[in-house]
Structure 1
């Protein structure tokens, strides 16, 4: 284990100008620092036991169930509600008003009255209101083809087709996992100081993992027979994610900085390893082979996405060929490998970064505790404008441009009135720019720079130009948090929101990204993750493959 009193050696961290570009952020892969991985390790360390005190399902799988787990000294219960949804109402779009299943993660063990309340309100989702005992609200729809096929095979005494399980990978997919006070559920502050729940999105990840187990139980109940454990392990929980998630990275810059800093520090630490043991080399070779198979199994209809996967497939054998016995037995093998990877695509580089971190939990897992932060952006009115100007010259050259040209202000972010969800409009084709959300950080700072020619303090500047308050705050905060800002124009024609989605989803632990446009994607969570009775072996499921 890592000595907490001695800072481990590390190479220099990659610069924000490299890391914080949308294209590279959009090539993110899950790592052992991803929140699902952290959750499962904590559950395993606590020898957590999951019970199912309530199973009130009819023969067709409609009804409700309750799962309870003691975690960090507190009991949490998932209340799952399954309803008979007409096919014409089934959609992953945010306009949906009904779903196959709905869920609440409850703080404690719900009484009969509380279960009845949740069973009545959870299927209504946004149309209902919840209480401080409700920590997370979610809903999911069936993958109708695989769910029906699995039921049919189980009833016939068989198992679902392995190829179909491999190609789809989940029985249900969530369309929202709400936390932090939405619709009356508990604010994160209610449980953030509890043991094991202080990390980012721990309550949401616990909800997703429990939902995944419920989908297994439900299909076995309706099918009347157990699933093969190998097939069951490969059935994760799907997710459909759109623009609603993208602005989070902009509105939480200090949290983004904490996530990226932790990951980049992990990479810098493993690059500094002077020599590898034979067992460690063996693990790396095993992961290289696993990643190759994962890429072979990863097929998407999206042309751009598939082209990137195909390029990775071509490059991966070339990368593997660099890992000769002489290199791996020599000095600084991982740093040599990393430097050599610069000739490959961004996607291949980022997959390699995740792979290199994977075998070295004892060296990097302590960084998990740094991924939550109470820091927030602050404003220093006493700063001289000359100093602010120097910060802009040093950190914001990428933002300086002419935002009057159509390509530079092609789109605008806004919040829909109907669903209170973020959306994108085309500035030169659609109305609504007057209601624009302030995600145009680059343009804001460029406008600030134009008014910084005079001297004096920031306070005096803001007295003259109060419209620059948010931009000043961002510039000053970035000085202390180098990975806090996405270094691209988020209203420009070239901005692809899906890159923002993939960055955040990679930190969740998502894999098998399946983009449906540049604004939404399907993913798989918990694929390969341990089942409820396998928590003792909770940590070897990075980029799972079907026969792993």
Structure 2
């Protein structure tokens, strides 16, 4: 289905039922979203499995302890790429997940073409240094990762003794490595997004290359533990059971560095949200409900409940959220069990009786039921990130646009205590986003322009005053008189062409919860098992339950939504 025909269905008497921006773009609701069929990990795996990418290891040079160099070669329908891994010894004292770290267990690069010896030496001199090094435009992605202190040595010991890892232990930490950064899009000399998206269609979707790097890290982690265990005790060694392998994902630590992206790329975020809401609209309008759909719906809700029960976190807030979602699932199952005949009715019922996370989980489950309606929308995740100024727009029209599209910003009392207590800035050492308190911290003059709501509020005030004196003027005249407002006016006019647009929240407020921003973006990535470590950063799991590289070429039904731990009896 073409995007133009889908968007045409937004208008007319038979328009798709889309949720309003005032509901969808609320920050707390965005922070309640879950993974779905349209999440980037899912769409990437569908492409790999359906196109049957060929992934080999032409270079495997690891010592008995697992240190050394490994090169994967990836042959797709449209190109040849290499994934280069450097595994180095790291003492427990040096292991640090924070961005200030300078050494890691693994460093990696996704590279265009085949890596020959001279280029490998260039990578070896720079990739382990990460930000302190410098790569070239053959590199798409640069990343690093640390071993899980709770799992890595344990799994090696079990396999070396001829035993399988205890699934109950893996449930608590479902990965062997945790990545602490995945860089792309032109950083540190790498290929920028324009080059990747125009020359390499395999990775032309947002964050496809970054997600692929994490997938390859997961594959290497499984390969490495088996290699070390085999070298340690070749006579007793046993390979890991495939079901347990699939249950291992990759850990991820995400902090404030991800948050500004949602604000600085409004056209792209609008597109991501729009595609998800279009998918929901298609399901609500065209999703036929029969006995098979009812059976599958019940199965998915039961799976989601068990997945939540298997999610471990020490954070009280997240624990309460997870418990509430489990209760939401129970009442949804009861409500649907009476007689599920209409998705609109159930969705409306959930908005009255379930938490935001329960409501958004229902959306993800609904999308899971109808791949034939949903999957094609993944082709439209890209968007031109261009904010254009319309100088001929009459000021009265600009005023109406603000009143209609940004009523949420005008309704915020910015004079209220705590409404402007926070400012966002980049640290001088690592250029990573940080939060400052206006009363305690200096550097407010260098703050990042993330307070969109407040900027719109100030612009509206000056615009109203200007219109009183010059009601007949256009935007061009207003820009000459108020040049500092050019950026926010450009944004207002451009976002008026979007269905959804800006996140509706005051990001300068004292009580702002950046976790909602992080979780929103991570849900589009497709992560699970959220484990907040503070209000500013969260651990999570990627690719848990996903197929293995050795599954490529086999029948693929794309059914790893909300993965569950394998039964212990299946480990024998």
Q: Into which bin does the TM-score normalised by the smaller protein fall?
A: over 0.9
TM-fit CA distance, 1:289: 1.1
The residue aligned with 2:106 is 101
**Which residue is equivalent to 1:371?**
381
Contact 1:10 1:265 in 2 (8 A): no
Distance in structure 2 (CA, Å) of the matches to 1:104 and 1:3: 35
1:543 maps to which residue? 562
Aligned to 1:485, which of 502, 519, 536?
A: 502
Query: Which residue of 2 is the match for residue 259 of structure 1?
Result: 272
Q: Which residue of 2 aligns with 1:134?
A: 139
Measure the CA separation in 2 of the matches of 1:66 and 1:390: 57
- 2:3–2:380 contact (8 Å) kept in structure 1: no
Residue number in structure 2 paired with 1:457 = 474
CA contact (8 A) 1:270 1:356 kept: yes
Distance 1:538 1:239 in 2: 26
| Cα separation, 2, equivalents of 1:130 and 1:222 | 30
| Structure-2 residue corresponding to 1:284 | 297
How has the CA–CA distance of structure 1 residues 428 and 5 changed in structure 2, closer, same or farther, with 3 Å as cutoff? closer
Measured at CA, do residues 323 and 405 of structure 1 come closer, stay the same or move farther in structure 2, by a change above 3 Å?
A: closer
Q: Which runs of 5+ in 2 are unaligned?
A: 231-237, 568-572
TM-score, normalised via structure 2 length: 0.92
Which residue number in structure 1 is paired with residue 173 of structure 2? 168
Q: CA deviation at 1:28?
A: 1.1
Moved more, 311-320 or 395-404: 395-404
Q: C-alpha separation between the residues in 1 aligned to 2:265 and 2:217? A: 27
**Alignment TM-score, normalising by the size of structure 1:** 0.96
Residues 3 and 403 from structure 1, CA distance in 2 versus in 1: closer, same or farther, beyond 3 angstroms?
A: closer
Q: What are the within-5 Å matches in structure 2 for residues 288-327 of structure 1?
A: 288-324=301-337, 327=339
The equivalent of 1:71 in structure 2 is: 76
Tell me by how many angstroms 1:275 deviates.
3.1
Question: SS of 1:452's equivalent?
Answer: helix
CA contact (8 A) 2:17 2:284 kept: no
- Using a 3 Å threshold, how does the CA distance of structure 1 residues 94 and 29 change in structure 2: closer, same or farther? same
- In 2, are the aligned partners of 1:10 and 1:269 still within 8 Å (CA)? no
Corresponding residue number in structure 2 for 1:386: 396
Counterpart Cα distance in 2 of 1:364 and 1:10: 17
Q: 1:422 aligns with which of 433, 437, 442?
A: 433
1:503 has 2:513 as partner: no
What's 1:362 paired with? 372
What does 1:45-194 align with in structure 2 at a 5 Å threshold?
45-193=50-198, 194=200
CA distance in 2, matches of 1:541, 1:206: 17
Q: Figure out how many residues of one structure are paired with residues of the other and give that number.
A: 543
**Matched residue SS, 2:93:** helix
How much does 1:464 deviate? 1.4
**Does the aligned pair in 2 maintain the 1:258–1:371 contact within 8 Å?**
yes
Once the two structures are TM-superposed, the CA of residue 67 in structure 1 deviates from its matched residue by 0.9
Indicate which of 474, 485, 488 corresponds to 1:468.
485
- In structure 1, the gaps of 5 or more residues are none
**Aligned equivalent of 2:570:** none
Bigger mean CA deviation after superposition, 3-12 or 536-545: 3-12
- The secondary structure found in structure 2 opposite 1:451 is helix
Could you list the per-position Cα deviations for residues 229-278 of structure 1 after superposition, in whole angstroms to 9, with x for gaps in the alignment? 11110100110010001000100000001000000011111111363233
